Homo-oligomer: A and B are copies of this chain.
Amino acid sequence: MQQFHKMDKLQIAQINKYNVIRCLMRESPINRAAIARRLGLSIPTVMFITETLLNSNFIRSIGKGVSSGGKPPEMLEIVPERFFYIGLDIGRTMIRATAVNAVSRQVACLEEPTNNPAPEKRFVDRIAAIILKIAGRLKTENDRILGAGIAMPGLIEKETGAVLFSPDFGWNNIPLQEWLTAKIPFPVLVENANRALALNEVFLMEGETSHTTFAVNLGYGIGAALVIGEDLYTGASGTSGEIGHITASAQGPVCHCGNRGCLEAVASGAAIAAQGKSVLESRGASKIRELAAGDPENVDAALVFRACELGDKEAARIVNTAAEYIGIGLSMAINVLDPDRLVLCGGLMRNGPFFLEKIKSSIGTHRMRQAGRAVVISTGRGGEYSTANGACRVLSNSLWWNRKLPV
């Protein structure tokens, strides 16, 4: 019977206050009458709420706007530097950190290669140091930093932010959030990287209405997240979105998750690189060998894509097979989830538009006729820092929904 919602005056007041903040975040500068119209609230209600927000220095007046007849209205805006969020994208190849201000603008960023993530304790010390480094760049008091969101590939325990299992990192049951919280003077929240990315991509769609967005991260690994409206779908235990570990080819190669023939084992950046290396090692002349100067260690997914564009047949076979399997996986998502946005992100999508076309062609073959009629397929807009910026959004959303903004 969890569905009973009793609404009382206090809840209504809080919903109204957060709606005013949301309106200010999206439409600043804006005057009180416009807020009242936008939200269907009375002018006195809006005046009471904006007074509170002005007193806590959350918003400020920027003077008079243009009059539409009477007295020119006072224009209000969120104080951008009132507080900040930090976001980290802990990828298997690169670690990226970002800081965004109260109006979601990125104000600092840094990146460094991930290198060896073992032993875990030492690696987590490094992550803590990166958080403090980006925080230092803000030159602000710690209490203006509302927290750090950490985007981590793998299965994250919902309640604790522990990493249950990360095939990319070979981690099992690492209490990442707990370890970081002990080292950092502001809140830390660990979430799955694909979810952070999806949240940011949906944020960047602002203005476009979206019913359901399925965002897929095609990089070193393959993962996804579902956003319904503006809310993350997390699943019952917090592990949803693992499209990289659906069985794409029952007789396929063993995946680093332990199962056989996962999508990630046949179509991820790691799988493409491994297949490229094996071509170099087992065959004679090829563009792959040429571009890698004969050294298998130089073969990564991007190199296989370049060899494909230069007309290498083996590279083309690898890329085409990957696109075919990715298309099968995404057709599954279209048939089962019927999203209206399918956003393809991650390193694999930065190898030129032909890969997107190949994937779309595979989807055309494998999706059910008439299923997912509303779906628009596109590449992500957020660039290399999309996941890190999304980690900031994970944190700000959590504060938002738990009504814990300092207002």
Interface residues of A (CB under 8 A from B): 1-8, 12, 15-16, 19, 22-23, 26, 38-41, 155, 164-165, 209, 211-212, 224, 228-230, 233-243, 245-247, 249-250, 257-259, 262, 324, 328, 331-333, 335-340, 365-366, 368-375
Contacts and interface: CB of A to CB of B under 8 A. Distances in A.
Contacts of A331: 246-247
Contacts of A230: 3
Given A236-B211, A259-B368, A369-B165, A242 B336 contact: yes
B3 A237 contact: no
Nearest to A5: B15
A103 B19 CA distance: 38
Contact of A7 (B7, B164, B259, B328): B7
Contacts of A23: 4
Contacts of A229: 2-3
A234 B338 contact: yes
A337 B235 contact: yes
A1 B15 contact: no
A374 B237 contact: yes
A236 B19 CA distance: 25
Nearest to A245: B368
Contacts of A246: 331-332, 335-336
A242 B334 CA distance: 9
Contact of A19 (B6, B234, B239, B338): B6
B245 A39 contact: no
A333 to B, nearest CB: 7
A221 to B, nearest CB: 12
B372 A236 contact: yes
Most buried by B among A211, A241, A339, A369: A369
A22 B7 contact: no
B259 A235 contact: no
Given A4-B39, A19-B5, A246-B331, A338 B240 contact: yes
Contacts of A237: 338, 340, 372-375
Contacts of A228: 233
Contact of A247 (B224, B328, B337): B328
Q: How many copies of this chain?
A: 2
Contact of A328 (B16, B38, B212, B250): B250
A257 B328 contact: no
A7 B3 contact: no
Most buried by B among A241, A339, A373: A373
B6 A236 contact: no
A377 to B, nearest CB: 13
Contacts of A26: 1
A236 B375 contact: yes
The 4 closest A-B pairs by CB, nearest first: A235-B338, A236-B340, A240-B338, A245-B368
B239 A372 contact: yes
A228 B245 CA distance: 23
Given A235-B339, A257-B369, A259-B368, 18 more contacts: A1-B38, A2-B229, A4-B23, A6-B40, A7-B12, A155-B368, A165-B369, A235-B338, A236-B375, A237-B374, A237-B375, A240-B337, A242-B368, A246-B332, A259-B366, A262-B368, A332-B332, A336-B337
A370 B164 CA distance: 7
A233 B26 CA distance: 28
B165 A370 contact: yes
Nearest to A225: B336
Contacts of A339: 235-236
A236 B3 contact: no
16 contacts: A3-B22, A3-B229, A4-B22, A4-B38, A12-B12, A164-B370, A165-B370, A235-B337, A236-B340, A237-B338, A239-B338, A243-B335, A245-B335, A246-B331, A246-B335, A247-B331
